[in-house]
Structures are given as structure tokens and as C-alpha cells.
Amino acid sequence: MNQNNQSKLRIMTLNLGGGIKNFSGPIDCMSPEKREAMLKLITDVQADILCVQEVAQYIDADGILHSMVDHIRSAGNYSHFFYGETLSMKKHMQVKKDVMVNGLFKDWWDWSKGNALFSRMPFARLGDSTKEGVPRNVPIFQPLTYEGSRDTDPRYVILSRIKQYPYPYIVNLHLTTLVGERGSSAWSSDIVDAARLTRSQQLSRIFNLVDENIIQKSEPLILMGDFNATPEEYTIKDYLEKEKAVVRLVPKNPVPTHQVAGMVDHIFFAPANRLVHYECWIDDRPLSREVSDHLPVISDIVIQ
């Protein structure tokens, strides 16, 4: 909605990985409960802009594409969408990755996972908001070799712009978490420190990407996704909120978005003076818990 030089948007971020990890079959192969929960959640929320992490797809032996993106697009009736690949059989084949090995013996042409962006409004060119454009998939971490574990998962962000006043930029991200970082089986403080440093470096690269053309020009920026960092971590509290003066949209029900990791999924906005009003919440209904081990974060924002 655009009124009096202000725009109201409903935005949502959701990591689907825990619920539909390594998607390797048609949606009909999912349990009926999980399938219905995912589709109902997207239909219920009716987000104007939806950022999803860890969506997967594969091309079968007959060259037919099977993608969660299609099901999400259809459920939400999204006219505009973009899939940004982060990992694939063709580029990162690894015998330690079961889904890749199984894919070979199913004669798949390819399997991949990545992030996805869905919008009810057209995408604009990054440099010209008056013309329609295409989002970009930008690397922020590329290991020398992929070893089949999360430690060496490549990380990308989707950078886009919405072709509706005030033409906000969107960044959909999924930052690194390391094996042995969390839970009762966490290996050591060194692993925890290394993980936090890795996330800080990745976020710094994101701001290198957006600083000159977005931040310094006071263009509206929505930054959301799975940060794998709680609000108390340096990456969030000190770097983003204090040093970069980015506003975290604080949920009115501050529950963990992940049972083990805590509140690690977030929505941020900059600059503060273009954020007129917001209401943010974590959808912790049983419906959302059926979909994934991450809970969606949703916000209604008014920006100018």
C-alpha cells in the first residue's frame, strides 16, 4: 500500500531447511501434515515480501525440474520470484553428501539448494528504480573446496530492489554456523569464537556490498534471514545495531526461533529515520512448528 509518500508492507523470513531438508522428491512425497502446514502458513500470512532460506530443487532423469520454489510461489500467489543457488551437485559434488550420491543413482541431472525471494511487486533494477530488473545472487563466502559439512557450505545473499515507492532494497541472507558450535555437545569455546568471527566477516562483506550505493545514500534497506546469531552476539548487538545503526525489528513475543540455537532469525531496517512504524512477531503456532525447526519472523512495516 502506498499512501502519503509512505508504504506499508508485510515481510517475512523463514528457514525451511529443518522441515524440508535436502528436498529430493515431489511435494506429494512429503507427509500430508507437513505439506499442508507449509502451504497453509504461506497462505495465512500473505506476506508482500517473503525471504526463504534452504530451499532445494533437482532435475530428474527426464530433465524435469522439481522445486520447492514452485510450490511456495503457487501457495502465496506470487507473481515475482527469484532462486539463488548456493550449493549444487554440478559445482560441488561431494561423496560425503548423501543427497548428492543418491542423486547420482537416481540419474538426476542436478540437485541444488539455496535462498529464494518472493514478492507481490515487481523487482526493480538496482541502479534504476523506474525499470524492472532481476535480483542478484552475490557470494559472501566461497570455500576452496566443499567438504560436505556446514563448515564449508558456500554462502550467498540475494540482493534486490522493489519497484514500488520508496523502492526499498532487500537482502536475503543465511550466515554460517559451524559443526560443534551449539548445544550440549558443543566442542569448545574456540569453535564458538571461530563461528562468531566467521559470521562477523560475512556481515562485513554484505556491508561492503551495500555501503556506497545504499547506506551512504540513505536508501531504504530491509535485511532479513537466518543470521545464526542471537541478539546478544557481537555481530548483532555491536556491529549491526551500534556501529552500523541498523534497526532490529524486535518481536513482541521474543521466543527462540530455533530450539537449540535460540533467536537467530531476524529482520533489520535502515536508515532509522525512514522507518515510520513497525510491528514484529514470531509465528510460534503449532502450524509453524510443523513446517520447520525454524519459526518464521513476520513484520508489518510502514516506511518512507
Proportion of the chain above pLDDT 90, given as a percent: 82
CB atoms within 10 A of CB 270: 22
Angle at 114 between CA 38 and CA 72, to 5 degrees: 25
Instruction: Tell how far CA 209 is from the center of its chain.
Output: 17
| 233: its cell numbers | 552476539
C-alpha neighbours within 13 Å on the C-beta side of residue 243: 12
State how far Cα 20 lies from the chain centre: 15
Q: Give the C-alpha separation, 61 to 42, whole Å.
A: 30
Mean pLDDT of all residues in 129-142: 98
Q: What is the pLDDT of residue 188?
A: 77
Helix (H, G, I), strand (E, B) or coil at 112: strand
Percent of the chain with pLDDT over 70: 93
Angle at 225 between CA 33 and CA 297, to 5 degrees: 55
- For the segment 210-255, what is each residue's pLDDT rounded down to a tens digit? 999 999 999 999 999 999 999 999 999 999 999 999 999 999 999 9
- Sequence-separated (6 or more) residues with CB below 8 Å from residue 12: 45, 47, 49, 50, 51, 296, 297, 298, 299
The pLDDT score that the predictor gives to residue 170 is 98
Cβ-Cβ contacts under 8 Å for 126 (sequence gap 6 or more): 133, 136, 159, 160, 161, 169, 213
What are the boundaries of each domain within the chain?
A: 2-303
Q: Please identify, in words, the CATH class of the domain defined by 2-303.
A: alpha beta
d(CA 224, CA 268): 6
Give pLDDT tens digits for 181-214. 887 666 778 899 999 999 999 999 999 999 999 9
The whole-number pLDDT of residue 1 equals 54
Neighbours of 151 (CB within 10 A): 18
For residue 113, pLDDT over 80 is answered with yes
Q: Cell 513476520 belongs to which residue?
A: 298
- Sign of the alpha-carbon torsion through 256, 258, 259, 261: negative
Cα 293 from chain centroid?
14
The answer to whether 157 and 223 have CB atoms below 8 angstroms apart is no
Nearest-angstrom CA–CA distance, 146 and 16: 22
- pLDDT at position 27 is 54
Tens of pLDDT along 18-71? 545 556 554 555 667 777 888 899 999 999 999 999 998 999 999 999 888 998
Query: b or e along 81-117 (b: 16 or more beta carbons within 10 Å of the residue's beta carbon)?
Result: bbbbbbbbbeebbbeebebbeebeeeebebbbbbbbb
Lowest-confidence segment of 26-35, 79-88, 156-165 by average pLDDT: 26-35
Q: How far is the C-alpha of 137 from the C-alpha of 172, rounded, in Å?
A: 10
Average pLDDT over the chain reads 92
pLDDT for res 36? 85
What pLDDT does residue 19 have?
40
Range of weakest confidence among 16-25, 110-119, 166-175, 226-235: 16-25
Average pLDDT over residues 129-154: 96
Q: What pLDDT, on the 0 to 100 scale, is given for residue 29?
A: 54
Instruction: Give the mean pLDDT of 4-26.
Output: 77
